[in-house]
Amino acid sequence: MPELHVELAARRYPIHIESGLLRRRIAALAQAPERMLIVTDDNVGPLYADALKQAIGRPDCPVWRMPAGEAEKTLARFGELLEHMAERGLTRDARVLALGGGVIGDLAGFAAACYMRGIAFVQIPTTLLAMVDSSVGGKTAVDLPAGKNLVGAFHQPQAVYIDPDVLATLPEREFRAGLAEVLKYGAIADARFFGWLEDNAEALLARDAAELEGAILLSCRHKADIVARDETEQGDRALLNFGHTFGHALEVLLDYGTLLHGEAVAIGMQLAADFSVELGHADIGDSQRLRALLNRFGLPTALPTGLGADAVVAKMRLDKKAAAGRLRLILWRGVGKAFIAGDVDAGALTAFLAAQSA
Ligand code: NAD
Ligand code: MG
C-alpha cells in the first residue's frame, strides 16, 4: 500500500492510501489504548461510521454527528462539539477521528486543537477534495458570518487514512469539484502529472480505483512536500492558492453555495492563466490545454455573467492572501510553472476582467 509522510520540523505523520482500507483492520488505531470519538456528518455517518468502528476494533466507539454542509462550519457547532467532549469526560489523551469532507475535518480538527489546549486527531477524509487537500497540512478552522475560515489554528493530524472506495457514494458534482484541486497540483508544479491527467481523464471520471489511487497519491505527495517546506505559509505554500484569490472573490460575490469551491477555483485558475498570457508570462497554448482539461472534467472556466470587474477586483483585494496595499496573485508561466507575483497592477487586472465579461 502506498504510504507517504508529511515531514515537519517537530515530527512526521503518515498518509495511508489504500482501496478497501475501511473494510480492513486499521492496526495502529485498533491497538491504541486511548479513548476515541468519531466526528462526522449526517450524510457520511450512516454510510461509513459503522465500517470505521469495525476497522478500529471498537464497535461501541461513540459517534458525534452534525448536519452536513458549509453553513454548519460555525462557532456554534464547534461549541457543541467541545461541550460534548467535556460531557463524555474526554481527557488529554483522547483522540478525535474526523470522518467526512473538509467541513468535518476543519471543524473536528479545530476542536481537537482547542480542547484542553490540544489533543490528538486523525483525518479520515471522504470527499476527493478532503483527500487531496484539506486533510493534509494541519489547517483547521470554522467560519464567521464575516467570512470563511476566520477562526482557526494550525494543528497537524496524527495520521491521515484515505480509502478511495468511499468516493463511490460521493455526488458527481462534488467529485468533479475535487478534480479541480487534483489538477491544480499538475498546473502549478508538475507538468508530467498534468499530462498523466490528460491521458487518464476518462478513467478518473469513471472513478477507476487504480487511477484514483494514483491521482490521490501524487496530489498528497505535492501537498505534503509543500507543507514540509513551508508549514505556516511564509513562502512557497502560497502557490497552492493558484486560482483561489479569483475563486474566493467569485464565491463571495455569488453568495457561497452557487459555485462549489472547486468550481470557483476552476474558473479562478483559468482566469489566472489567461491573465498571465495577457501579461506575456505564459503561452496561449498552455492556457488552452488548461481549459480543455478543466472542461473535460466538467468544470466551468468562464467568468459568470453579471459580475462587474471592479467588484471582483475589490473582493480580491480583501482576500486574506493579498499583502497589505498591493495585489498579490499566483500567476503562471505555463503548465507546471506557477509563481508568486507580489505587485500586480490592479488597473491591468480590472481591464482584463472587464474584457472577459464583455
Ligand atoms: P463537505 O465536507 O461539505 O462535503 C461535501 C458533501 O459531500 C457534504 O454534503 C458531505 O456530507 C458529503 N459527503 C462527504 N463524503 C461523502 C461520501 N463519501 N459519500 C457521500 N457523500 C459524502 O465539503 P468538502 O468539499 O469536502 O470540503 C470543503 C471544506 O473544506 C470547506 O469548508 C473548505 O474551507 C475546507 N478546506 C480546508 C482546507 C484546509 O487546508 N484545511 C483546504 C481546502 C478546503
Ligand atoms: Mg482550495
Give pLDDT tens digits for 49-61: 999 999 999 999 9
Q: What is the arithmetic mean of pLDDT over 179-193?
A: 98
pLDDT at residue number 274: 98
CB-based contacts of 202-207 (< 8 A; 24+ apart in sequence): 204/179, 204/297, 205/176, 205/296, 205/297, 205/298, 207/167, 207/168, 207/175
Burial class (CB in 10 A: 0-12, 13-18, 19+), 36: buried
Q: How far is CA 155 from the centre of its chain?
A: 15
Q: How far is the CA of 262 from the centre of ligand 2 (A)?
A: 7
pLDDT at residue number 48: 98
Point out the ligand 1 atom lying closest to the alpha carbon of residue 104.
2
d(CA 41, CA 98): 10
In this predicted structure, the answer to whether residue 321 has a pLDDT above a threshold of 80 is: no
Whether ligand 1 lies within 6 angstroms of the CB of 31 is answered as no
pLDDT at residue number 245: 94
pTM of the model: 0.95
SS (H, E, C) 203-244: HHHCCCHHHHHHHHHHHHHHHHHHHHHCCCCCCHHHHHHCCH
In this predicted structure, the answer to whether residue 256 has a pLDDT above a threshold of 80 is: no
In this predicted structure, the answer to whether residue 325 has a pLDDT above a threshold of 60 is: no
ipTM above 0.90, yes or no: yes
In this predicted structure, the answer to whether residue 154 has a pLDDT above a threshold of 70 is: yes
Q: What is the arithmetic mean of pLDDT over 15-39?
A: 94
In this predicted structure, the answer to whether residue 232 has a pLDDT above a threshold of 90 is: no
Whether ligand 1 lies within 6 angstroms of the CB of 102 is answered as yes
In this predicted structure, the answer to whether residue 119 has a pLDDT above a threshold of 80 is: yes
Structure confidence at residue 255 as a pLDDT band (50, 70, 90):
confident
In this predicted structure, the answer to whether residue 98 has a pLDDT above a threshold of 70 is: yes
- Alpha helix stretches (DSSP H) within the chain: 27-30, 44, 50-55, 75-87, 102-114, 128-129, 172-189, 191-199, 201-205, 209-229, 244-253, 261-278, 284-296, 309-318, 346-357
* Binding-site annotation: residue ranges: 102-106, 126-127, 139, 148, 181, 244, 261
Whether ligand 1 lies within 6 angstroms of the CB of 130 is answered as yes
DSSP 8-state code for residue 131 = I
pLDDT at residue number 75: 98
* Binding-site annotation: residue ranges for Zn(2+): 181, 244, 261
Q: What is the arithmetic mean of pLDDT over 220-225?
A: 94
Return the active site residues: 117, 139, 181, 223, 233, 237, 241, 244, 248, 261
In this predicted structure, the answer to whether residue 74 has a pLDDT above a threshold of 90 is: yes
Buried b (16+ CB within 10 A) or exposed e, 333-353: ebbbbbbbbeebeeeebbebb
Residue 70's φ and ψ, nearest 5 degrees, are -60, -35
Whether ligand 1 lies within 6 angstroms of the CB of 169 is answered as yes
pLDDT at residue number 25: 96
